[in-house]
Each structure stands twice: as C-alpha cells, then as structure tokens.
C-alpha cells in the first residue's frame, strides 16, 4: 500500500491542550475520540449529555465546530447533533447545521460494493460497512485475517479507478482519492464560520493525522487520542479525557 502523506514522527506529549478561545475552529473525530471503539459500529453513540455539550461549545465558538468522521454523513448525522457541521466519509461529504445529510452523501460504485461484500462474507467475523463513497471492511472480530484481507482488498482496488486502500484500527477502507481529512479541513477553513480562525484537530486514527498535519501547518494544533506516534503536540488518554476537556470548554 502506498500513502501520499509524510510519515509520522515524534510522540505527542501527555500534556492536554489549552481550552479553545473565541478564535478557535474545532474539529472532532467521532469513533475513538468522542466515542469508544466497539466491535459493532452501529452500537456506537455519544455519551449521555454529549450532544448538549457539543451544541453549547459550538455556540460559544460561533458555530466553528465540526465532527469529522470516516462514517458516511447520513450515518454520522444519526449520532451527532444537527446543530453542528457534520463531515462524513473522511471529508467527502459535508453537511452544514440543519441541512439534510442525504443531500450531501456520495455513493460507492455498486460493483465495488458487491465485490467487497463477497470478500467479507468469505471471512467469519469480517463485516463490510457502507459509508457513502467509502467502504470499510472491519475485522476486529477476526484479527488473524487482517493481513490476508489487506492483500485481497489491495488486489481488488488495483482495478478500480479513483480509489485507494487506507488501513486503520482493525479496519481496511476503500477510499476515493477525494476522501482526505486534511484536504477537508483546508476547504472548511476557507468558508464561514471557520475562515480566519485557528484550527484544532482532535483524533485517534491514521486518517486523523492528515487533518492534524494540516491544522499544524495552518498555525493551529492537533491532539492525539490514545497511544501511538503522532504529529500532534498534545494527547488525551481516551474519550473520557476528551469529554472532560470539552465540558470545561463549554462551561
């Protein structure tokens, strides 16, 4: 697998970031950041009271708060409040506050969907998740099959124009070239209410590093959630620490 982004370097500090001021633009990953990872992605939701905290903080930041996820935007909209910007499929689908997410959703080629469904069915414990234009093959329940699935998926994608393979935490994703969280942040920072602000990206996975890198290059910062190397200067141990920080920022 090839990747166009520079390799990770360094290790994020255990120091938490300062609370955002009125000039900040806040971008939050969903799975692994706002909610813990689970074998069944359909069972993942914000904690009780979480939607209210995010809405309060968004208002405090003049609306410059977005949840950005690898999930399809229709799926993400079921889990994040409609008062927020919701960015799905790694930045491919952008849904403003109050808008219908169905109007923002892209779709993957039907032939690719069917091929990857058959691949998932051949491996007990594997599961294909359709996320609009992005297709995610989860193997958390079949970790021993990860290497073989990666090889098979790479072979399939060689014949699909406009798609590449992206690996994550026990998941393999078929991603359109336009699905890139870093480019998504760059586009968001050119439009109101984000324009002219300082970006802060908080995320836990490899795809979040693209957005963290952009935020840093744009004069902002990034926060790594959980273990592992990162370009970020700051780190949260897990979603619980993220929520403690968000609640303090919203109060």
Q: Are residues 97 and 121 in the same domain?
A: no
Plot region of 94 (φ>0 → left; ψ -120 to 50 → alpha; else → beta):
beta
**Do the domain assignments include residue 19?**
no
Domain boundary among 176, 203, 223: 176
Q: Are residues 169 and 222 in the same domain?
A: no
Looking at the structure of the chain, the number of domains it has is: 2
Buried b (16+ CB within 10 A) or exposed e, 203-213: bbbbbbbbbbb
Per-residue HEC secondary structure of the chain comes to CCCCCCCCCCCCCCCCCCCCCCCEEEEECCECCCECCCCCHHHCCCCCCHHHHHHHHHHHCCCCEEEECCCCHHHHHCCCCCCCEEEEHHHCEEECCCCCHHHHCCCCCHHHHHHHHHHHHCCCCCEEEEECCEEEEECCCCHHHHHHHHHHHHHHHCCCCCEEEEEECCEEEEEECCCCHHHHHHHHCCCCCCCCCEEEEEECCHHHHHHHHHHHHCCCEEEEECCCCCCCCEEECCHHHHHHHHHHHHC
Q: Are residues 64 and 187 in the same domain?
A: yes
**Do the domain assignments include residue 4?**
no
Round to whole Å and give the CA distance between 172 and 152. 11
**Do the domain assignments include residue 1?**
no
Q: Are residues 131 and 195 in the same domain?
A: no
Q: Are residues 93 and 141 in the same domain?
A: no
**CATH number assigned to the domain comprising residue 56:** 3.40.50.1000
Write out the catalytic residue numbers. Answer: 29
Contact status, residue 72 vs residue 95, Cβ threshold 8 Å? no
Give pLDDT, residue 135.
Answer: 94
Between the alpha carbon of residue 90 and those of residues 1, 53, 186, 228, 233, the distances in Å are: 18, 23, 13, 20, 22
Per-residue pLDDT for the chain (251 aa), expressed as one digit of tens each?
333 444 555 567 768 999 999 999 999 999 999 999 887 888 999 999 999 999 999 999 999 999 999 898 999 999 999 999 999 999 999 999 999 998 888 889 999 999 999 999 999 999 999 888 889 999 999 999 999 999 999 999 999 999 999 998 899 999 998 899 999 999 999 999 999 999 999 999 988 999 999 999 999 999 999 999 999 999 999 999 999 999 999 99
Expressed as residue numbers, the domain containing 151 is 110-176
**Do the domain assignments include residue 118?**
yes
| Residue written as token pair 């970031």 | 17
Plot region of 53 (φ>0 → left; ψ -120 to 50 → alpha; else → beta):
alpha
**Do the domain assignments include residue 18?**
no
Round to whole Å and give the CA distance between 216 and 200. 8
pTM of the model: 0.81
Closest CA to 85 of 55, 45, 50: 55
**Do the domain assignments include residue 8?**
no
Q: Are residues 162 and 193 in the same domain?
A: no
Round to whole Å and give the CA distance between 163 and 194. 29
Token code pair at residue 216: 């840093």
Give pLDDT, residue 6.
Answer: 45
């Amino acid at each position: 697998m090839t990747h166009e982004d520079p390799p990770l370097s360094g290790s994020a500090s255990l120091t938490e970031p300062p609370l955002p001021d009125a000039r900040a633009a806040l971008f939050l990953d969903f799975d692994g950041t706002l909610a813990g990872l689970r074998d069944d992605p359909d069972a993942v939701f914000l904690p009780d009271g979480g939607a209210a905290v995010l809405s309060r903080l968004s208002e405090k930041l003049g609306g410059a708060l977005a949840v950005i996820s690898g999930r399809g935007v229709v799926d993400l909209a079921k889990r994040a409040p409609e008062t927020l910007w919701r960015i799905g499929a790694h930045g491919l689908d952008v849904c403003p506050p109050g808008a219908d997410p169905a109007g923002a959703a892209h779709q993957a080629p039907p032939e690719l969907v069917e091929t990857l469904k058959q691949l998932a069915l051949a491996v007990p414990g594997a599961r294909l998740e359709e996320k609009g234009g992005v297709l995610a093959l989860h193997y958390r329940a079949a970790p021993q099959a990860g290497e073989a699935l990666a090889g098979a998926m790479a072979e399939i994608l060689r014949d699909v124009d406009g798609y590449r393979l992206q690996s994550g935490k026990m998941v393999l994703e078929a991603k359109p070239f336009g699905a890139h969280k870093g480019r998504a942040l760059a586009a968001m920072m050119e439009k109101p209410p984000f324009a002219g602000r300082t970006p802060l990206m908080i995320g836990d996975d490899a795809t979040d590093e693209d957005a963290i890198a952009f935020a840093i290059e744009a004069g902002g910062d990034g926060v790594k959630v959980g273990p592992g190397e990162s370009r970020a200067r700051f780190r949260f141990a897990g979603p619980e620490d993220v929520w403690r920080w968000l609640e303090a920022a919203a109060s």
